[in-house]
Structure 1
Amino acid sequence: MRPRQPPQTVPTTDVRILDIAAEHIRRHGLARMTVTRIAEEAGMSHANIYRYYPSKEALIEEITAAWLKPLEAGLRMIADAPDPAFDKLERLLFAIHRAYRAKLENDAPLFDLFLAANDKNAPIARKHRNRCRLEIQRTLEEGASGGLFAITDMKKAKALVLDALYRFLSPAGIVLDAEESRAGVEARMQTLLDLVQGALTQGRY
């Protein structure tokens, strides 16, 4: 008797619409994407699309959010881990950098949506940026309360981290370094991070 196969999960309508829209952008580009075309590929009316996503812009934001949410969940897990804050800060920053770089290399059309959202300071970009900064601040505060970081001004300390490593944490910076090897970029990032960590532990901020 053959073992039973686990039942396959059927995507909900909203997820199916997102998947179709994302694939349409990969094949044809954002400029050729319309709600009518997505509806045709989904086999439904465009009015039905609007039941789930009130505008083309809302649909695009959700496509971007779909790959950012797992990253944000991973950042929360890192910040919640029982590791020393020194190690967690490094893991947080490299997790952000590597996720962006991987998206650019493996799914450039959808990375471009994120890049455009950042250029416009769109809501999805602001929300994601704030969530990343929250986990960084939580880690800095934990390090300060535990005596690992000698921080006297949390606002300045967070600005130090974000400003010093901006090129490695911004979508535009990821694009600028796209032609350089991962190892080379990460070595540069590590050098700056070591300097930042040193400043934080020595009480300069």
Structure 2
Amino acid sequence: MSAPARQIEAAADQRILEHACEHLRRFGPKRTTILDIAEAAGMSHANVYRYFPSKLALFDAVTANWLAALEGQLRVIKEGPDPAYDKLERALSAIQKTYRAKLEADPALFKLLCDAIETNRVVARKHRNKIQGEVQAIVEEGINAGSFRMTDRRRAMALVFDLAHRFIQPISIALDRSIPAPDLAFRAGRAFAAIQRSLVYGDPDFDI
């Protein structure tokens, strides 16, 4: 495929995603149809199916599209010059704040992520693996540099995700939507600080 043809394909794909987001926000997933999205995008529904084989595939693409920014942010944090201690706090805070902000500003699209998690769809598994991979890389950096005394990688990762779960798991964040965002961010910060202390100073009595 030539470069101009690829650009046309990418533009059409993006146009479909934009109209899908608009319809999801206005009507929700049940009332959003491929036919309506195609009409809004100025193309036939058959053409939409060229890009996305089903409505569910389109919804998953919408989900992956907004998650990409968070994944990119975590990658930048991981590759930055800061000590692993600081990177870990920044990464966990970025996850918590991004999810909470999306829940408040764009609840229809956030619900798509929760639905994907509950049904164990590929888009949710890929995102979870990326999140875990970036956090694990930060933890391993701290261990290799000697700044984390908890050197058992399995125990260290279990500690991070067990203690942070309430604040970085989308479904848990949705359940806590009635808690004011500043209050939840404060509580998340305390949990993340406890994780940092356990990794830095070690906790031989912390049995996971």
Task: Report whether the alignment pairs 1:174 with 2:173.
Answer: yes
The CA distance in 2 between the partners of 1:166 and 1:41, in whole Å, is: 39
Match for residue 40 of structure 2?
41
Task: State the AA in 1 paired with 2:171.
Answer: A
Task: Report whether the alignment pairs 1:14 with 2:36.
Answer: no
1:13-92 equivalence runs, <5 A: 13-92=12-91
1:104-119 equivalence runs, <5 A: 104-119=103-118
Task: Report whether the alignment pairs 1:152 with 2:151.
Answer: yes
The CA distance in 1 between the partners of 2:168 and 2:120, in whole Å, is: 15
Match for residue 5 of structure 2?
none
The CA distance in 2 between the partners of 1:193 and 1:46, in whole Å, is: 47
> Which structure is higher in RCO with an 8 Å CA cutoff and minimum separation 6?
2
- Percentage of matched positions with identical amino acids: 47
Q: CA offsets, 1:95-136, max 9 Å, x none?
A: 001100010110111111111111111111111111011111
Moved over 2 A (4+): 202-205
The CA distance in 1 between the partners of 2:129 and 2:118, in whole Å, is: 16
Deviates more, 1:43-52 or 1:134-143: 43-52
Task: State the AA in 2 paired with 1:126.
Answer: R
Question: TM-score, normalised to structure 1's length?
Answer: 0.91
The CA distance in 1 between the partners of 2:201 and 2:90, in whole Å, is: 21
Task: Report whether the alignment pairs 1:129 with 2:133.
Answer: no
Question: TM-score, normalised to structure 2's length?
Answer: 0.90
Q: Which runs of 5+ in 2 are unaligned?
A: 1-7
How much has 1:39 moved relative to structure 2? 1.4
Match for residue 7 of structure 1?
none
The CA distance in 2 between the partners of 1:197 and 1:104, in whole Å, is: 27
The CA distance in 2 between the partners of 1:143 and 1:100, in whole Å, is: 26
Q: CA offsets, 1:26-53, max 9 Å, x none?
A: 1111101121221122221111001111
The CA distance in 1 between the partners of 2:21 and 2:167, in whole Å, is: 26
Q: What value does the CA root-mean-square deviation take over the aligned residues? A: 1.6
Contact 2:89 2:193 in 1 (8 A): no
Match for residue 185 of structure 2?
186
The CA distance in 2 between the partners of 1:130 and 1:47, in whole Å, is: 33
The CA distance in 2 between the partners of 1:27 and 1:183, in whole Å, is: 28
